[in-house]
């Protein structure tokens, strides 16, 4: 079948085959395509200019091929793109200035190519950018005033001898040697994902601590001594000044004294730590496992390795896992306002959560879940979306947390698992099928959205909402949280849309629930961006 005839195709995944030659221009005929992965092949020649015709594309991975020549300027036409990976090719020339139009891009990887020239100043317009890697090219000049670039880890910028600027590992752009910023770095880190539900939090200042998250290495590559990992630790990350950082955590928490404890959970307790740099981090000290429990943690580790690579504004950032002979702990982002549940449960705090903020919280969770389901390969299902696992920063931006029960979906697996999740948020089919799908998260999201609108968990209301005799418009007026002022007409229009989406998400039959990508796209079209009007 000719490629150009597949005009209704939504996903094209041909990674890790032995494809060779050039990509035909007919690729541009797949106008409905949303997801394209041609990575890890032997494809060569130029990236076809017709790729700019794929207006609905939100994920593009052409990494680990032999594409050459320059980056086509038509890439700047992909306005819905959130993930762009062109790494490990032999692309040459300059980065197109047209990239400034890609304001939806969250992840950008151009590493290991032959790109030269300066980074376009238009990068300052890429406000959605969370993760960037431009290492091992021939780029030069100052890095633009972009948060993702300026806060990028050293390994994401290295290998470009001419770069300068206010970022880790770079000299200042005054032609002097310049003193590189001192940043503390994590010691003996293990890729482990148990992001706890935190009861309080912080926004980490960019000038403070820098966590080195390099490629995974075997345990025997770590330093010897007190920081030596235990046998159960299957994967580690390079050490740099780990002992110093470990001592800073111990001192900041007074050896994990209860006075610094801000949360308790099944895997460990959460502590607030203020480092000598005045930066605050959340530290989860893991409980010492009983005999027979290491196998469970090893299974978690196998699924969690990929989670350390997640970078999204609506997903709490895991910085690493430090292993020591006496203590093992996770270090991660700490968000100032705590959990959504704690705010909704407090009348005074709930009154500060106007309708605009509530709508933005719902949108943020939708965007984060859409990223996990559609932009990560293989997809990740959270399995425990609830108001206690949604954390808010000082601007009420929502972040998904607590990945202790997260499940990486394997394409050729049944994906059966034990029951997990919070009562009242678990999809009804999961209780008797034990099969994990993205639609489990969709259901939980629907419950959460209704909770934000109502100001409390919907409980038995969900069954009533699915009744065809209930009109959504009239029902919505009865549901609105009366602790805050009624919404304006403009806000009410959007609330109605979100309410209808939430009702669709809690449909008893998972086949009739929308995908999180669909939900995210519909909510992105909302005209409401700032405070309540």
Does 94 reside within a domain?
A: yes
CATH of the domain at 259: 3.30.200.20
Number of folded domains in the chain?
Answer: 3
Does 453 reside within a domain?
A: yes
Does 224 reside within a domain?
A: no
Residue that terminates a domain, selected from 164, 184, 215 = 164
Same domain, 472 and 430: yes
Q: What is the spatial distance between Cα 329 and Cα 186, in angstroms, rounded to a whole number?
A: 11
Same domain, 468 and 352: yes
Tokens of 403: 């990945």
Same domain, 444 and 357: yes
Instruction: Please tell me the predicted confidence (pLDDT) of residue 324.
Output: 67
Q: What is the spatial distance between Cα 511 and Cα 505, in angstroms, rounded to a whole number?
A: 10
Q: What is the pLDDT along the chain (533 residues), one digit of tens a residue?
A: 466 677 788 889 898 898 999 999 888 889 889 999 999 999 999 999 889 889 899 999 999 999 998 898 889 889 889 899 999 999 999 998 877 678 788 889 999 999 999 998 888 888 888 889 999 999 999 999 888 898 888 889 999 988 998 888 888 887 433 333 333 333 333 333 333 333 333 333 222 333 333 223 332 333 333 333 343 332 333 333 455 677 888 899 999 999 998 877 656 788 888 888 888 888 888 776 554 455 445 544 544 565 666 789 999 887 667 766 677 777 777 888 889 999 999 999 999 999 999 999 999 999 999 999 998 888 889 888 999 889 999 999 999 987 766 666 655 444 444 445 678 898 888 766 677 889 999 999 999 999 999 999 998 777 777 655 444 445 687 889 999 999 999 999 999 999 999 999 999 888 889 999 999 998 887 665 544 43
Same domain, 289 and 378: no
Does 24 reside within a domain?
A: yes
Domain that holds residue 77: 3-164
Same domain, 401 and 328: no
Active-site annotation, residues? 384
**Nearest to residue 132, comparing CAs of 116, 155, 165?**
155
Query: What's the predicted TM-score (pTM) here?
Result: 0.54
Alpha carbons within 13 angstroms on the beta-carbon side of residue 70 total 12
Known binding-site residues equal 285
Tokens of 50: 């017709």
Q: What is the spatial distance between Cα 102 and Cα 428, in angstroms, rounded to a whole number?
A: 39
CB-based burial label for 326 (10 Å; 0-12, 13-18, 19+): exposed
CB-based burial label for 141 (10 Å; 0-12, 13-18, 19+): middle
Does 302 reside within a domain?
A: yes
Instruction: Please tell me the predicted confidence (pLDDT) of residue 485.
Output: 95
Known binding-site residues for ATP equal 285
Same domain, 323 and 379: no
Same domain, 329 and 346: no
Residue that terminates a domain, selected from 333, 359, 378 = 333
Tokens of 389: 């696992």
**Nearest to residue 368, comparing CAs of 399, 331, 333?**
399
Does 207 reside within a domain?
A: no
**Nearest to residue 113, comparing CAs of 65, 170, 172?**
65
Same domain, 157 and 291: no
CATH of the domain at 110: 3.80.10.10
Same domain, 422 and 439: yes
Same domain, 289 and 359: no
Same domain, 323 and 360: no
Residue that terminates a domain, selected from 131, 164, 197 = 164
Same domain, 329 and 388: no
Instruction: Please tell me the predicted confidence (pLDDT) of residue 97.
Output: 80
Tokens of 83: 């993930």
CATH of the domain at 401: 1.10.510.10
Q: What is the spatial distance between Cα 156 and Cα 169, in angstroms, rounded to a whole number?
A: 10
3-state secondary structure of 77: helix
Does 255 reside within a domain?
A: yes
Q: What is the spatial distance between Cα 36 and Cα 54, in angstroms, rounded to a whole number?
A: 10
Does 235 reside within a domain?
A: no
């Amino acid at each position: 079948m000719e490629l150009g005839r597949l005009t209704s195709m939504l996903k094209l995944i041909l990674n890790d085959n032995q494809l060779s030659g050039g990509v035909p221009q007919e690729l541009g005929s797949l106008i409905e395509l949303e997801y394209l992965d041609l990575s890890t092949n032997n494809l060569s020649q130029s990236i076809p200019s017709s790729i700019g015709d794929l207006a609905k594309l939100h994920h593009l991975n052409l990494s680990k091929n032999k594409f050459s020549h320059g980056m086509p300027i038509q890439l700047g036409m992909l306005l819905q793109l959130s993930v762009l990976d062109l790494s490990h090719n032999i692309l040459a020339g300059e980065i197109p200035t047209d990239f400034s139009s890609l304001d939806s891009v969250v992840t950008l990887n151009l590493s290991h190519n032959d790109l030269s020239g300066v980074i376009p100043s238009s990068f300052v317009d890429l406000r959605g950018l969370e993760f960037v890697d431009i290492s091992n090219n021939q780029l030069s000049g100052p890095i633009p005033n972009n948060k993702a670039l300026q806060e990028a880890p050293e390994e994401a910028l290295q290998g470009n001898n001419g770069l300068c600027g206010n970022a880790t590992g770079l000299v200042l752009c005054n032609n002097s040697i310049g003193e590189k910023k001192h940043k503390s770095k994590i010691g003996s880190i293990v890729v482990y994902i148990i992001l706890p539900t935190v009861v309080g939090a912080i926004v980490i200042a960019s000038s403070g601590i820098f966590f080195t998250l390099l490629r995974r290495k075997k345990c025997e590559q770590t330093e010897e001594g007190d920081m030596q990992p235990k046998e159960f630790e299957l994967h580690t990350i390079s050490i740099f000044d780990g002992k110093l950082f470990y001592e800073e955590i111990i001192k900041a928490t007074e050896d994990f004294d209860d006075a610094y404890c801000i949360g308790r959970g099944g895997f460990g307790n959460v502590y607030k730590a203020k480092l000598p740099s005045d930066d605050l981090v959340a530290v989860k000290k893991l409980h010492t496992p009983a005999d027979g429990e290491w196998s469970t943690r090893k299974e978690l580790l196998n699924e969690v390795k990929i989670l350390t690579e997640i970078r999204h504004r609506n997903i709490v950032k895991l910085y690493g896992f430090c292993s020591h002979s006496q203590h093992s702990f996770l270090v991660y982002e700490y968000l100032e306002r705590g959990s959504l549940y704690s705010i909704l449960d407090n009348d005074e705090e709930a009154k500060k959560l106007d309708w605009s903020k509530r709508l933005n919280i719902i949108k943020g969770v939708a965007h984060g879940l859409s990223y996990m389901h559609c932009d990560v390969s293989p997809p990740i299902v959270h399995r425990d979306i609830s108001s206690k696992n949604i954390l808010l920063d000082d601007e009420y931006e929502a972040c998904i947390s607590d990945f202790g029960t997260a499940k990486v979906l394997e394409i050729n697996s049944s994906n059966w698992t034990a029951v997990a999740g919070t009562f009242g948020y678990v999809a009804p089919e999961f209780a008797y099928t034990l099969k994990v799908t993205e639609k489990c998260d969709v259901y939980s999201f629907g419950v959460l959205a209704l909770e934000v609108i109502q100001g409390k968990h919907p409980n038995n209301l969900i069954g009533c909402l699915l009744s065809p005799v209930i009109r959504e418009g009239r029902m919505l007026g009865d549901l609105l949280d009366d602790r805050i002022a009624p919404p304006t007409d403009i806000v009410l229009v959007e609330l109605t849309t979100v309410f209808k989406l939430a009702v669709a998400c809690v449909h008893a039959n998972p086949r009739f629930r929308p995908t999180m990508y669909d939900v995210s796209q519909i909510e992105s079209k909302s005209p409401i961006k700032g405070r309540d009007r």
